[in-house]
Each structure stands twice: as structure tokens, then as C-alpha cells.
Amino acid sequence: MTSAQQRAELQRQIWQIANDVRGSVDGWDFKQYVLGTLFYRFISENFTNYITGGDDSVNYAAMDDGDENIAATREDAIKTKGYFIYPSELFVNVAANASKNNNLNTELADIFKSIECSANGYPSEADIKGLFADFDTTSNRLGNTVKDKNSRLAAVLKGVAELDFGDFEDNHIDLFGDAYEFLISNYAANAGKSGGEFFTPQSVSKLIAQLAMHKQTRVNKIYDPAAGSGSLLLQAKKHFDAHIIEEGFFGQEINHTTFNLARMNMFLHNINYDKFNIELGNTLTDPHFGDDEPFDAIVSNPPYSVKWIGSGDPTLINDDRFAPAGVLAPKSKADFAFVMHALNYLSGRGRAAIVCFPGIFYRSGAEKKIRQYLVDNNYVETVISLASNLFYGTTIAVNILILSKHKTETTTQFIDASGEDFFKKETNNNVLTDQHIQQIMAIFDSKDDVEHVAKSVSLETIADNDYNLSVSSYVEARDTREKVDITQLNAELKTTVGRIDQLRSEIDAIVAEIEG
């Protein structure tokens, strides 16, 4: 199958699963069951492939849990893969008998607990613990009776089992990412749930990853301070497999559900537990990784204009992350708190690419003072304005802020990528194609001025403009109004007026003849 066919088939199958369980499970909750089941199937198949060494003649699923060979390999398997799955616990065995299993919901809960507990006492314990926490097989959201719960769980297992794309790693599409994107687009806005607007579509993720990794031959590690489902980090892996991300992938996420999704996503992309570190918590008030060496690449799509404690905590103004600007981001708008956090964690050779709400680039007060700090210290490499309606659940036309600590030029580049040449219209949302991303990257790389698209501006000019960093302040928009030839228009009007006068004379003559 082509990627388009695989994606269409995936969406068709997910919709079929939705129809099978509709009427009981809220769409937003249903998302967790589909993604959790996809993950369960993946780690089962991935673990089986590890145990058998890819030898199809070895049928691990048919073995007895008490087989002495299994016992002998258990410890090494946990040390390598981070977890252990017995044959009876494999997805393929559970799915095969799901519709007849009167204890399906409790057996699934026991299996998930067993997989998580297999890592207890091993280095992978923190990365495995709680992975299935949001896959609550005993929840009344699945139905009021055990029979109802089992029926709907069996339908989800059956649907995921019927997905036939071969090995996960050989797919032309990002199976998990595409499933998540499809579910978000269908349920987030419609159900009125928050979160859809904070999910970064894959096309935007791809652009951000390329901006952060541009011309890097190697990076020590990559970091996302508002990791979400991990899509930004994984786009870096996908695009830069040929490069070396030496120490792996790091992120912090405040939402427990998306924290679990991010960890699942790492495993789904064959990133071993010792090559990623995703932590749960509030990045602004309880940051992790502060004692580690700084990051060569940072990518982020933090929540827009979210409230935070800010000046309500008098210790924060002395925090190494925020102190240099001499002011904290407003309590009602934490956007620049995330920016300052990223800057503090950025290495002297790296770049940070951050999705930002446009208002932070022109508002006064504390935000202006932070902009002044960034500009005066020559940290702002580029500001890019994107088209509207690229994100689910919001039509906001966002900007991307690129920070760098190794700039040599004393200019800042502004790129207007909001025009129709830089996006493709689709039914629900606009999208960036690979061609659009290449266009933007070529402009970013060259730093050349392009009429109505890009302009490099001196720091002095920005300072004189009240430290305004809005792209529209420096890149003149193309005049799309229809040009009017006044001379020709006057001639046409004169002809029209003459014709009207002639018609009036003819009408007057007819009326006079009738009255006479």
C-alpha cells in the first residue's frame, strides 16, 4: 500500500471500531482505548520479534508460560527491552479469544499490571510504570455490566487485530501518530475537550524539527519542555535518523494522559527505554533536567496564554531561567516563561524552535521587557508567521520563534509564510506539504530578503520599533486588491452616462407621443 492508502485504511478501521462501541464510550475516552490497544499490540509483536530473533520458525505465542527457556531469558530480556511479556499475555492470544472471554476486562487489567511490574527493580522501572494507567478496563465508561465492558473491549481488540500493515516499523505512515491525529481531529473540537489545540500536527512538527536541527551534524540530545504525545521529538528522529542524537530524547509533560502517550510513542518508534527520559510535572515550577548539560536541540509547542503562578511566587524572579530578563511573564500569559525556560536549557551551539501565540510579539509591559532582553542579547534568529487553521480546535495563525546562542550576524530574520503559496487547503484544516516545508527551510537557510515574504532586520531597527517582533511590522504584505485603471474607468463611465442620457431622451419621446 502507498502511504495515502495506508492512512485511509487506518482511518476507515478506526471509524469502524468507533461504530462498534458507539453509544457508551465518549469519543475523547474512546481515544485512550484505541491508542492503548495499538500500543499493546505493538509491544507484544516487538517483544516476540526480540525473543525469537526474527526466526519465523519459533512460535513464542504457542509456548507455555512455564517453559524453562522462557525463565532463562527473562532477566536479560527485561534488561534489554525494559519489560517482559509471557506468551499467554501477548496481544495475539488475548485478541483471538476476546469475544468468548467472560473475564476479559479483569484479565486485561492483570496483564497490563504484569507487564508494568516486570520492570520493578530494573533501570527501566520508571519508564514502564503506569504506562497503561489510562486504559481502565473496569471503568463504567465501557458499560454498566461486565458483559457490556467485555463486549466493547473485544470490539476494540478485534478492530486493532485486523489492521494489516505488516511490521509497524515497515509502515509508510506513522501508525500511532496518524491514529492519534485522526482521533484528535474527530473528537477534540466536537466534544468540546481541551487539548486538541495543543496537539502539533505532523506537518508542523516536521518543520519545527528541521528548524531546530538545521545544519547540525550531531546533537547531544533533543528536548521538549511541553512534550505532549512526543510528536515533535519523534519528528526529529524520523527526519534525522542519519545523524546522531547521541544521548537520546528528553521531555516533560504536565498532563498524565499525554505523558503516558509520549512514553508509549517512544516505544512504538523503537526508542529503547535507556534512550529517552519523559518526566511528569509542571515545567515552569518543577522543572526536570536542570542539572544535566544543556540541550543542542529544543522543540516545543507550549500551551498558548496559559495561566501560571508567576509573580505570585517571589522566588521565581531569582530563578536562573527567568532572572536574566529582570521580569517574569504575566501571571495570565505564561508564553514567555516557556521561552525563557527553553533559552536557559539551550546549549551554546544549539537552536530552539518554539510555536508561539502572535500576541506575545507586540504586547507591552513585561512581555516587551522580555523581548528587549532577547533582542539586545541577539538570541532571536528568526520569527516565522504560519497560515491560520493549521491546528485542531483553533484557527489561530501561530508563529514560530527560533532562538540561537551562536548567531554571528546582528540581524533578525522575519518570514511571512502565511500566504497561499505556503499551505494547502483541506476539508477541515490547512496543511503544510513537504514542498511548503522545503520552501520555508530554503528561505530560513539563505537569510536573503524576498519581497513580501522575508526580510532581515537590524537589531537597532527592532529597538527603534519598540522591540516589536511581529512579522507584519517588517515584511510588507502583498497587495492582492484588484488594480484599477482610473483613466479607463472614467472613459467607461463617460460612455455609460452618455448611453443613459440617450435612453432617457428616447423614453421621453415615447411618453410625449403617448400623451399626445
The pLDDT, as a whole number, for residue 265 is: 84
User: Buried b vs exposed e over 263-275: b needs ≥16 C-beta within 10 Å?
Assistant: bbbbbbbebebee
Give, for all 516 residues of the chain, the pLDDT tens digit.
666 677 777 777 777 777 766 554 455 567 778 888 888 998 998 899 899 988 888 899 999 999 888 989 999 999 999 999 999 999 999 999 999 999 999 999 999 999 999 999 999 999 999 999 888 898 888 888 999 899 989 988 998 888 765 555 555 556 666 676 677 666 544 444 444 445 677 788 899 999 999 988 889 999 999 998 888 898 888 777 666 888 999 999 998 888 888 898 888 888 889 999 999 999 999 999 988 889 999 999 998 889 999 999 999 999 999 999 999 999 999 999 999 999 999 999 999 999 999 999 999 999 999 999 999 999 999 999 998 888 766 678 889 999 999 999 999 999 999 888 888 877 677 888 889 999 999 999 999 999 999 999 999 999 999 999 999 999 988 766 566 678 887 888 888 888 888 888 888 888 877 876
Q: Three-state SS across 299-320?
A: EECCCCCCCCCHHHCCCHHHCC
The pLDDT, as a whole number, for residue 282 is: 96
Q: How far is CA 363 from CA 124, 372, 470, 485, in A?
A: 45, 12, 10, 40
The pLDDT, as a whole number, for residue 516 is: 64
Closest C-alpha to 341, from 328, 359, 358: 328
The pLDDT, as a whole number, for residue 214 is: 92
C-alpha–C-alpha distance, residues 238 and 178, integer Å: 14
Kindly report the backbone phi and psi dihedral angles of residue 129, in degrees, each rounded to the nearest multiple of 5, phi listed first: -60, 130
Q: Cell for 381?
A: 534568529
Say what the pTM is: 0.83
The one-character DSSP state at 291 is T
C-alpha–C-alpha distance, residues 221 and 349, integer Å: 12
C-alpha–C-alpha distance, residues 367 and 374, integer Å: 11
Tally of CB atoms within 10 A around 450: 13
**274 close to 297: Cβ distance less than 8 angstroms:** no
The pLDDT, as a whole number, for residue 194 is: 46
The pLDDT, as a whole number, for residue 189 is: 45
C-alpha–C-alpha distance, residues 77 and 91, integer Å: 18
The pLDDT, as a whole number, for residue 166 is: 56
**C-alpha dihedral, 83 to 88 to 89 to 93, nearest 10°:** 130
C-alpha–C-alpha distance, residues 168 and 156, integer Å: 18
C-alpha–C-alpha distance, residues 146 and 102, integer Å: 8
The one-character DSSP state at 139 is -
Tally of CB atoms within 10 A around 144: 9
C-alpha–C-alpha distance, residues 74 and 86, integer Å: 9
Tally of CB atoms within 10 A around 229: 28
H helix count then E strand count, the chain: 16, 13
Amino acid in the structure at residue 52: T
Instruction: Label the pairing between strands 399-404 and 380-386.
Output: antiparallel
**152 close to 21: Cβ distance less than 8 angstroms:** yes
Query: What is the per-residue DSSP string for 58-96?
Result: --GGGS-TT-HHHHHHHHHHHHHHS----GGGSHHHHHH
